[in-house]
Structure formats: C-alpha cells, structure tokens
Amino acid sequence: MRPILKKSGDHRGSLPALAGAGVCLLSFVLYLRTLAPTVLYYDLPVLRDSAVLQVKSYVLGIPDYTGYPTYVMLGKLFTYLPFGDAAYRVNLASAVYAAGAVLLVYLIGYLLTERPVAAAAGALAFGVSRIFWSQAVIAEVYTLNALFVSLTFFMFLVWRKTRRDRYLLIAAFLCGLSLTHHITSGILLPAGLLFVFAVDRRKLLEAGLLLKAAGLFLLGLLPYIFLPIRASMDYLPEGWTWDQPKIAKYPPDTFYGFYNLVSGGAWKGRMWAFGPAELPDRISMYLNYLYGDFGQFNIALVLVALLGAFYLIYRDAAGAILLGVAFAGWLFHALEYNIEDIQYYFIPTYLVLGVLMAVGFDAMLDAVDGLADRLPSPVRVGGLILLSAAILVFPLLGTSATYAAVDRSGDYEGRRMIDAVARKTEPNSTVLHHRSPLYYMILVDHRRQDLTLVNYLEKNAGAPRFKGILEAKAALKGGPVYLLLPGETTTPYYMGVRDSKSLYRDAGLDLVAVDEEVSLYQVVRRETGSG
C-alpha cells in the first residue's frame, strides 16, 4: 500500500511555499476588504457578542460563557495598533486569525497530499465558505478557535513526518492552550492520543515523554489564571458593573465561580439538550448549513470531501483517525447544543472538510495522472495543467455572492447608535439597552459617562419578564429614561418598536421617538386621561 506522504519531487522548491502564501494572502485581502470598520452592535443570531467582545478586549474584561482569557489578552494586543479605532483593531484580529487558519489548512493538506494545487483548493474552499468568512470580519471567537485547531493538527502531522518528539510536545501544549479559548477544543486531546497510538503506540509508554507532554499541556492552561486575577481587580469606573448576574453571584476569583465560568456558565443547561428522536432533524439542519439553503459548499465540493474521506481511510488510517474523531466530536457536540447561533459551532467541521477536499482533489489528480501515463508527454502535461487550474478555480465559484452577503465594510450602525445616544439624551439619564455599543461609548470612547446603563431584553418568544418596564418605572423616579431597542422589527429573540410600544402602553408608559433610525426612544409616563 503506497503511503499518502508519497515522494513527488523536491519539496524544498518554491512552488509549495508560493502556493501557501498566495492562498493566505488572497484570503486576508478578502477579509480585509469586507472587514467591519468600527464598533458593532447586538443582532441575534448574527451578532450576539461582537460589541461586548470589542469592549472587553480593550479593557481586559471577562466575557460570558467560558471567559475566553486567551482571546481577550490577544485582542488587547491588537488594540495597540496605530490605525483605526479600537473596535476596528479587534475586528482585524479575527481576519488575521482566519487567514492564519487558512494557511494552516493548506499546510495540513500539503502534508497529506504533497500536491500544492490540491492543498490550495481545499484551503480556499474553507477560507471563502460563508459562515467562516462572516466571522473573519467581526470581533468574534471562532476564527481564533480555527487557528488553534488547525495549528494543533499541523503539529501532530509534522511529528509523524519527522518523528521528532518536540513537535509532539508542541501539540500537547496547544491542546491545553486551545482549551483556554474554546472548550470544544477539548476533543483535540482524545483525537491526538488516538493518532499517536495509530502511528507509534510505543510513544504512549515513554514515561519521560508523557510527563513532559502533561507538563506542557498544563502550561497551555496558564491563561486561565487571567480570570481570577482580573476578577479580583477594581478596574471599572466607580459604581459600574457588567450585566453578568451569574458572574456577579459566582465571581471567578472563587473556586466554584471559576469552575462554573470555564465549564460553560449558565449555558451548561443547553448542552446535550436533544434526545435520539431529535437527532435526524438536527442532522438535517447541519446538512442544510453545509450545502442547502445556507450552503457553505456546493454539493460537488461536499462530494469531493466525501471522496477524500474514503481515500484517506484507504491510504492513511492514522490521518483518518485524527481528522475523523475530531470531526465526529465537534459535530455531535454542536448537534446536541441548543443555542440560537449554532451555525458557528459547525466551523471546525468545515475546517476538516476543507482538508478532506484537498485529499479528494489529490485522489482525482492521482487517477487522471495514472490514466494519462499512456498519453504523449505534451498532452499529459497540458491536461494536468488544465485540470489543476480547474481545481483551483472551482472553490472560488460563487465567491462574489458570498462577498456581498458577508461584506460589513460599510456597516456603521454601531457608531450611529453611539452618536445618537451621546448627542440626544439628557444629562444623568438612564438608558435601557441590551449588549449594545453603549458600553464602548463609555469605557472606550469615554463619552457620556454621566449615563446609567441598564441591560434589559423584552423577548418575543417564551415568557417575557418585562424587565425593561420594571427598570424604566424605577429609573423614572430619578430622572429621564431612554430605551435603545435592538432593532425596529420584532424577531424571535426580542421585541421591535411596534410591539414594544404596545407593551409599554399597557403598562402606562409611552415611547417617544428620539432617533427612529437607531430605534432610540424616551420612556415617559402617560398623562392621566390620555388615550
């Protein structure tokens, strides 16, 4: 059986390096041209956390869910760049991580195929996929996760190729470090152990190597220390608190608070939420995101990835174990996670599929190469060049439509919200909002620090608690109150203008338009006897 890491020429030549650099550069240029230019806002399920992550990267705050210490500290470094505002720089971090992940997908594909064309095609297919690209242009955690995942895969494969233990130790460190960013990266540990077992099981019996690997894994967890240290510090303006009731109740500078945060916080109850009877519908949802209405890849690319999976199983069982176990773990976790923006949890599976596409394209080229052996050399070479060109272009079909769908280069809505509130609200007012750019206005721009921000969300679905109405009535006793709605139109996640007006009217309050373009309203008591 011929190994997939076959000898096919001088790998020290410039072509593989140029191909990798070209793929990385093309992806980065696309991300840069579509990058959000400034502060973002809340718009579930598309923009859940971006506005908050921009602020917390700047002030070294602690985000919800698992705290994301590595993301926050790296994001802080980007805020020191000398161009754009702080929000733009945090958005730029996502683009840099995404381009790095695309480069690593190329390198992984090249290690498995030793064909620059096949590796480049798989990396491009992943890089221009709609959901991944959409996360490369905003402040979010998913492209850094893809970077860590791909870098860990790469180190395992480099270890296999060189059999130098230092690469295995680097992979162990990355398994720990990636866990401090996203808990789903925990699947890298069993996948990596099974890969090492398949390649050289004797390594798992070397006590010295295991101790070093365990120590480096623990060293990778070191960023977690940021959470209790920062939680114990008084770094916010006087009287300011984040709208994080669970973290306030169980701060991460206590043992339980730390454990509760890094294990998922309030979102643990949404994990493993579906039974066996519901899995077919969940799988159908995944397939819809994969190649259906929200398709990341056209069906032909999915078939190429399927071909690559079978080819990898046949030619490289250890590589198939590494990618297959990780893919299955991430997919199962996402299918069992009941969260509104679940599509972003599929990104690591798309990364694996991009690698499998590289292997699938390699299989196609191998087949054509074998059939062409009987043809005259000029015909054979010309045919392979044409096929290689077609393979490179194929993943880019539809890129213009994806570009238009994900482009945020003209998105200044967050900045318009800040300007409207800063200019049109009275001094010492209370503003009701939900995960809006107003945090950025006060803590980063240092504007309107006289305002009191109250987080609320009147939900359209389920049983609303009408927190906004209760907070508004209480705040009206002390001064003017304003309401910055998440959007004009009611969605399953929040009430829009019309429904909010009706709700407040029933409570004896009116919403008076201050700036309808950004859905900013003043809350006033209804006059006695008014209609």
Task: Tell me the per-residue pLDDT of 172-185, one tens digit each, with 9 for 90 and over.
Answer: 999 999 999 999 99
Q: How many residues belong to the chain? A: 531
Higher-pLDDT residue of 233, 12? 233
Distance CA 196, CA 203 (A): 7
pLDDT in tens, 345-355: 999 999 999 99
Q: Which residues contact 49 (CB under 8 A, 6 or more apart)?
A: 63, 64, 139, 140, 141, 435
- Evaluate if residue 93 carries a pLDDT over 60: yes
- Claim to verify: residue 42 and residue 159 sit in the same structural domain: yes
- For residue 411, the model assigns a pLDDT of 97
Higher-pLDDT residue of 468, 113? 113
At 2, the pLDDT band (50, 70, 90 cuts) reads: very low
- For residue 523, the model assigns a pLDDT of 96
Q: Which domain holds residue 135?
A: 22-163+299-406
Average pLDDT, the chain: 91
Q: Of 360, 375, 406, which closes a domain? A: 406
Alpha helices in 372-425 (DSSP H): 377-393, 399-406, 413-424
3-state secondary structure of 510: strand
In this structure, the dihedral spanned by the alpha carbons of residues 241, 245, 250 and 253, taken in order and rounded to 10 degrees, is: -30
Distance CA 531, CA 521 (A): 19
Strands 481-484 and 430-433: parallel
Q: Does some domain include residue 225?
A: no
pLDDT in tens, 119-152: 999 999 999 999 999 999 999 999 999 999 999 9
- Evaluate if residue 239 carries a pLDDT over 80: no
Q: Of 406, 432, 465, which closes a domain? A: 406
- Claim to verify: residue 391 and residue 451 sit in the same structural domain: no
Distance CA 245, CA 250 (A): 8
- Claim to verify: residue 426 and residue 384 sit in the same structural domain: no
- Evaluate if residue 457 carries a pLDDT over 60: yes
- For residue 529, the model assigns a pLDDT of 52
User: Residue 244 has which token pair?
Assistant: 């994080």
Work out the average pLDDT over 500-524: 94
- For residue 308, the model assigns a pLDDT of 98
Burial 325-360 (b: 16+ CB within 10 A, else e): bbbebbbebbbbbebeebbbbbbbbbbbbbbbbbbb
Question: Are 486 and 459 in contact, with CB atoms under 8 Å apart?
Answer: no
Q: Does some domain include residue 189?
A: no
- Claim to verify: residue 79 and residue 157 sit in the same structural domain: yes
Q: Does some domain include residue 40?
A: yes
- Claim to verify: residue 50 and residue 157 sit in the same structural domain: yes
Distance CA 363, CA 357 (A): 10
CA angle, 433 as apex, 428 and 439 as ends, to 5°?
70
Work out the average pLDDT over 96-120: 97
- For residue 460, the model assigns a pLDDT of 61
User: Residue 362 has which token pair?
Assistant: 């390699």
Q: Does some domain include residue 186?
A: no
- Claim to verify: residue 159 and residue 31 sit in the same structural domain: yes
Question: For 4, what's the count of Cα atoms within 13 Å in the CB-facing half-sphere?
Answer: 28
Distance CA 372, CA 526 (A): 83
- Evaluate if residue 463 carries a pLDDT over 60: no
- Claim to verify: residue 425 and residue 401 sit in the same structural domain: no
- For residue 3, the model assigns a pLDDT of 36
Tell me the torsion sign for CA atoms 417, 422, 426, 428: positive
CA distances from 232 to 210, 248, 260 (A): 35, 12, 16
At 294, the pLDDT band (50, 70, 90 cuts) reads: low
- Claim to verify: residue 473 and residue 356 sit in the same structural domain: no
3-state secondary structure of 39: coil
- Claim to verify: residue 397 and residue 423 sit in the same structural domain: no
Q: Of 357, 384, 406, which closes a domain? A: 406
Burial class, 107, CB count within 10 angstroms (exposed 0-12 / middle 13-18 / buried 19+): buried
Q: How many domains does the chain have?
A: 2
- Claim to verify: residue 379 and residue 508 sit in the same structural domain: no
Q: Does some domain include residue 16?
A: no
At 12, the pLDDT band (50, 70, 90 cuts) reads: low
**Locate tokens 């733009």: which residue?**
88
* Nearest alpha carbon to residue 490 among 517, 522, 457, 515: 457
Q: Does some domain include residue 250?
A: no
- Evaluate if residue 4 carries a pLDDT over 60: no
Distance CA 498, CA 244 (A): 28
Residue 433 falls in which region: left (phi positive, over 0), alpha (psi -120 to 50) or beta: beta
Work out the average pLDDT over 484-513: 91
Distance CA 258, CA 252 (A): 4
Q: Does some domain include residue 324?
A: yes
- For residue 408, the model assigns a pLDDT of 98
Distance CA 361, CA 346 (A): 23
In this structure, the dihedral spanned by the alpha carbons of residues 429, 435, 441 and 446, taken in order and rounded to 10 degrees, is: 90
Q: What kind and span of H or E run contains 511?
A: strand 509-515
Q: How far is CA 76 from the centre of its chain?
A: 17
- For residue 456, the model assigns a pLDDT of 87
Distance CA 466, CA 458 (A): 6
Q: What kind and span of H or E run contains 360?
A: helix 347-371
Q: Does some domain include residue 304?
A: yes
- Claim to verify: residue 360 and residue 493 sit in the same structural domain: no
Distance CA 368, CA 380 (A): 9
Domain of residue 494, CATH code: 3.40.50
Distance CA 11, CA 347 (A): 30
**Locate tokens 């005259």: which residue?**
376
Neighbours of 209 (CB within 10 A): 17
At 528, the pLDDT band (50, 70, 90 cuts) reads: low
Higher-pLDDT residue of 242, 290? 290
- For residue 293, the model assigns a pLDDT of 67
At 465, the pLDDT band (50, 70, 90 cuts) reads: low
- Evaluate if residue 159 carries a pLDDT over 50: yes
- For residue 7, the model assigns a pLDDT of 41
Maximum Cα interatomic distance, the chain, rounded to a whole number of Å? 95
Work out the average pLDDT over 210-237: 95
- For residue 372, the model assigns a pLDDT of 65
- Evaluate if residue 9 carries a pLDDT over 50: no
User: Residue 229 has which token pair?
Assistant: 């240290």
The rounded percent of the chain whose pLDDT value lies above 70 is 94
Q: Which residues contact 330 (CB under 8 A, 6 or more apart)?
A: 184, 187, 345, 346, 348, 349, 352
- Claim to verify: residue 437 and residue 401 sit in the same structural domain: no
The rounded percent of the chain whose pLDDT value lies above 90 is 78
Work out the average pLDDT over 281-294: 88
Question: Are 514 and 521 in contact, with CB atoms under 8 Å apart?
Answer: yes
Higher-pLDDT residue of 6, 420? 420
